[in-house]
């Protein structure tokens, strides 16, 4: 099962790992909810967006680790906080050798904005395998899900095959997501 390891800002405090998956996304898209749905309740689900300000590390069955990153793009944040978030991410992506998969979570109802596109370019630059999760699908009808999935795939210029539609509320897409994560972590070196 899942166990919280620690919170960290810089590399000295990253836990040891046999392979890691990181979850990134705009504040409030449901990163912590997805981690909870995948592995059992442990990650903090906030009422105040952006409350998780550090990298939070978890261990899954002693097999691999999970990193929950603070959400980006929320309002009322100072320039200093933006810089410190940027530095924390820069260090993480450039130095975390154990990182094997990036899962970018998006709200299926919204077209990716500048913040999402910046994060996407960032992930692209580090050339790690990426998976795109379109969450909160319970908020849309079946037709709208299809339409939004296509729109988001076109905006990011990624293959729909790399996208998984989820709902934490209905627990849909969660099993498929977990299988894909574990397959990728097992195969990629």
Ligand X SMILES: Nc1nc2c(ncn2[C@@H]2O[C@H](COP(=O)(O)OP(=O)(O)OP(=O)(O)O)[C@@H](O)[C@H]2O)c(=O)[nH]1
Q: Which is nearer to ligand X, 12 or 138 (CB)?
A: 138
**Cα pseudo-dihedral 53, 171, 17, 96, rounded to 10:** -50
139 binds, among Mg ion, ligand X, none (CB under 5 to 8 A by kind): ligand X
163, 147 Cβ separation under 8 angstroms: no
Say how far apart CA 144 and CA 137 lie, in whole Å. Answer: 9
Q: Which is nearer to Mg ion, 82 or 146 (CB)?
A: 82
Closest by Cα among 9, 19, 22, 45 to 105:
22
29 binds, among Mg ion, ligand X, none (CB under 5 to 8 A by kind): ligand X
Tokens for 44?
């903090």
Closest by Cα among 22, 18, 19 to 8:
22
151 lies in the site for ligand X, by CB under 6 A: no
**Total residues at interface with ligand X (CB under 6 A):** 23
158, 132 Cβ separation under 8 angstroms: yes
Q: Which of 17, 32, 149, 184 contacts ligand X by CB under 6 A? A: 32
Q: Which of 5, 168, 177, 181 contacts ligand X by CB under 6 A? A: 168
Rounded to a whole number of angstroms, the minimum distance from the CB of residue 187 to Mg ion is 28
135 lies in the site for ligand X, by CB under 6 A: yes
Rounded to a whole number of angstroms, the minimum distance from the CB of residue 2 to ligand X is 15
102 lies in the site for ligand X, by CB under 6 A: no
Is residue 102 helix, strand or coil?
strand
130 lies in the site for ligand X, by CB under 6 A: no
Q: Which residues contact 9 (CB under 8 A, 6 or more apart)?
A: 54, 55, 88
Cα atoms in the 13 Å half-sphere on the side-chain side of 147: 7
- Scanning residues 32 to 91, which ones bind Mg ion (CB under 5 A)? 32, 52
Q: Which is nearer to ligand X, 6 or 12 (CB)?
A: 6
Instruction: List residues binding ligand X (CB under 6 A).
Output: 25, 27-33, 45-46, 49-52, 70-71, 135-136, 138-139, 167-169
Instruction: List residues binding Mg ion (CB under 5 A).
Output: 31-32, 52
């Amino acid at each position: 099962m899942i166990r919280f390891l620690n919170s960290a800002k810089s590399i000295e405090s990253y836990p040891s790992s046999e392979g890691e998956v990181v979850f990134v996304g705009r504040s409030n898209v449901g990163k912590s909810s997805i981690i909870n749905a995948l592995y059992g309740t442990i990650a903090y689900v906030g009422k105040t967006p952006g409350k998780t300000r550090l990298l939070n590390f978890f261990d899954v069955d002693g097999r691999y680790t999970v990193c929950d990153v603070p959400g980006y793009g929320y309002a009322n944040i100072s320039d200093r906080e933006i810089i410190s978030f940027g530095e924390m991410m820069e260090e993480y992506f450039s130095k975390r050798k154990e990182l094997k998969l990036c899962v970018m979570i998006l709200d299926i109802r919204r077209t990716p904005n500048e913040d999402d596109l910046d994060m996407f370019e960032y992930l692209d630059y580090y050339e790690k395998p990426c998976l795109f999760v379109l969450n909160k699908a319970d908020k849309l009808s079946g037709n709208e899900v299809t339409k939004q999935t296509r729109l988001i795939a076109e905006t990011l210029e990624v293959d729909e095959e790399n996208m998984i539609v989820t709902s934490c509320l209905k627990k849909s897409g969660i099993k498929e997501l977990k299988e894909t994560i574990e397959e990728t972590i097992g195969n990629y070196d």
